[in-house]
């Protein structure tokens, strides 16, 4: 084998190894972040539904992983902070229940997002709550989204 042929073969081998490394790292990145991609869609759908009902969202917080209980599994949680009165919020939640199973709300008194659906995580709003204003957190929780990656380390 001539010197030129050996250099060409070496270049081909190195390019093949580089391509394999890139393919494997891309696949691993997608595998580990798949549920985050689903969460972003879940959050966007929730925000659109709230806005479609005429509410201004002050802040949104979302998370996925093993959020409550024991065992393994991926849960999705998304919460929005809104200014409204309780009757408006009740009507909003009723409308959301047609699209999201488990839509709920509570009066927000400080920055902490405290629900039984997020007992393993800690979420807080960054928005400062003004005195004399009424804020509510409206949230949805789902543990049965099709296409979730059950092998995600966050679910264990």
Per-residue confidence (pLDDT) for residue 122, from 0 to 100: 79
Per-residue confidence (pLDDT) for residue 5, from 0 to 100: 82
Strand order in the sheet with 135-142: 59-65, 75-83, 135-142, 104-107
Per-residue confidence (pLDDT) for residue 61, from 0 to 100: 95
Are 101 and 63 a contacting pair, CB within 8 Å? no
**CA 152, 67, 91: angle at the middle one, nearest 5?**
125
- Angle, helices 3-52 vs 86-96, to 10°: value is 130
**88: CB partners within 8 A, 6+ apart:** 55
Q: What's 33-155's CATH class?
A: alpha beta
Per-residue pLDDT tens digits of the chain, which is 156 residues long: 688 888 888 899 898 989 888 888 887 777 778 888 999 999 999 999 999 999 999 999 999 888 877 777 788 899 999 999 999 999 999 999 999 988 999 999 988 998 877 765 678 999 999 988 899 999 999 877 877 777 676 665
Per-residue confidence (pLDDT) for residue 96, from 0 to 100: 95
Name the region of 140 (left: φ>0; alpha: ψ -120 to 50; beta: rest). Answer: beta
């Amino acid at each position: 084998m001539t010197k030129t042929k050996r250099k060409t073969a070496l270049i081909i081998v190195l390019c093949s190894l580089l391509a394999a490394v890139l393919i494997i790292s891309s696949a691993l990145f997608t595998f580990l972040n798949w549920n985050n991609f689903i969460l972003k869609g879940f959050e966007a759908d929730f925000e659109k539904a709230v806005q479609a009902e005429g509410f201004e969202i002050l802040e949104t917080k979302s998370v996925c992983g093993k959020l409550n209980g024991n065992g393994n599994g991926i849960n999705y949680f998304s919460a929005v902070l809104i200014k409204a009165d309780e009757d408006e919020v009740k009507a909003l939640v009723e409308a959301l229940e047609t699209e999201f199973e488990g839509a709920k709300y509570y009066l927000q008194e400080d920055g902490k997002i405290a629900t039984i659906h997020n007992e393993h995580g800690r979420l807080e709003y960054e928005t400062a709550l003004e005195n004399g204003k009424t804020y509510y957190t409206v949230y949805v929780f789902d543990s049965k989204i099709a296409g979730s990656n059950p092998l995600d380390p966050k679910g264990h």
